[in-house]
Amino acid sequence: MDFALSPELLALQESVRRLAQDKIKPRAREIDASGVYPQDIFDEFKKADLLGLCIPEEYGGSGAGMLGLTIAIEEVTKYSNVLGLMLLLTRLPTGPIMIAGTEKQKQRYLPGIAKGTTRAAFCLSEPGAGSDVAGMQSRAIPDPDVPGGFLLTGTKCWISGGMQADWFTVFAKTGEPSSRLHTDICGFIVEADSPGLTRPRVDKKMGVKGIDTTEIVFDHVAVGPDQVIGGGFMLAMQSLNAMRPIVAARGIGLAEGALMYATEYVKNRAAFGKTIAEFQGIQWEIAKCATEIEAARLLTYRAACLADEGKFSKQYVPMLSMCKYYASEVAVKTSGLALQLLGAAGYMEDHPTEQYYRDARQLTIVEGTSQVQLGLIGRGVLGHDMWWD
């Protein structure tokens, strides 16, 4: 069992770390304050060939896999969760295509993401169906004019990157909206300029500002037979299962960034005749968070390796869910400690601790809440998917 990264992954880690320190760190607070999409950083990712990390080489990517993308996101998110999300969006909408798409679909849609000439978003959640995927109401009915085609109608909400997307991966029901049959759900690829597709609203968010979260409305949008992925409910779940380490990486990076910032602050802040860092109680709290960050990293790197091996079906769900649950909760805990260590200063916009604190809360909600992850882990233990005997 070798815990060391390969020379290639170490080189990737170092290059992304330099990029994050040189380009992202100086821009992070400005991006949060303005909420404007950071096109300049997207261009830096493009120049550094970071947009195709998880995409196979035959489709224009670098083939670094989920572990490579996890490492890159961890480095980036030390300074900006927004930029971690930007990299995440190279995998979330492309995942269903890589898992179940046709060769023609892969050739058509994956190279543009890897090269940075197109962007995409993942449409699953609805106003009345977030965690309850089977409760979605969006519906795709057969197109009477196009054999094998569909007409898609429905509303998707909280779609990250929705305003910037050139195309969407969309899940909808091919049966009655009231049906909860898993086989009645289907995946589709929808071009953003399709007639009947509108983006009427951009949400106002607590944090992770800079990449829009959008409502997408489909009104009898025509989807051709070559844009049908299929896959059913299982494809949606496998796509999300494989993403757990990617979301977890955002949590790890955020926790690292927050703790490093707060640690440097307490080493230089005088109180009661010495620095805050000299108090044993402060040292213990820093030690506890540092330990939890490392535990989260081990869970996450293992999960990324599992995903790279194609192990994201039911029996692997507990291990995948553990990393997402634990890393996102560690991010919340650590950002809270960082803010507390700075005291009143940490609550002010003069320091990034308040931004870390706001951004961390998103991670326990997106792509399966902490409670959903606990349910998946619990059922895995009860069903002996996770067992020690």
Q: Which of 75, 285, 354, 367 is catalytic?
A: 367
Q: Which amino acid is at 37?
A: Y
Catalytic annotation present for 367 = yes
Q: What is the 3-state secondary structure (H, E, C) of 133-152?
A: HHHCCCEEEECCCCCCCEEE
Mapped onto helix, strand or coil, the DSSP state of residue 36 is: coil
List beta partners, residue 223: 150
Give the residue from 131, 216, 136, 223 showing the smallest Cα distance to 176. 136
Burial class (CB in 10 A: 0-12, 13-18, 19+), 312: buried
- Angle of CA points 278, 280, 283, to nearest 5°: 80
Q: Which amino acid is at 36?
A: V
Cα(124)–Cα(214) distance, rounded to whole angstroms?
12
Cα first-last separation, the chain: 21
Which residue numbers are catalytic?
367
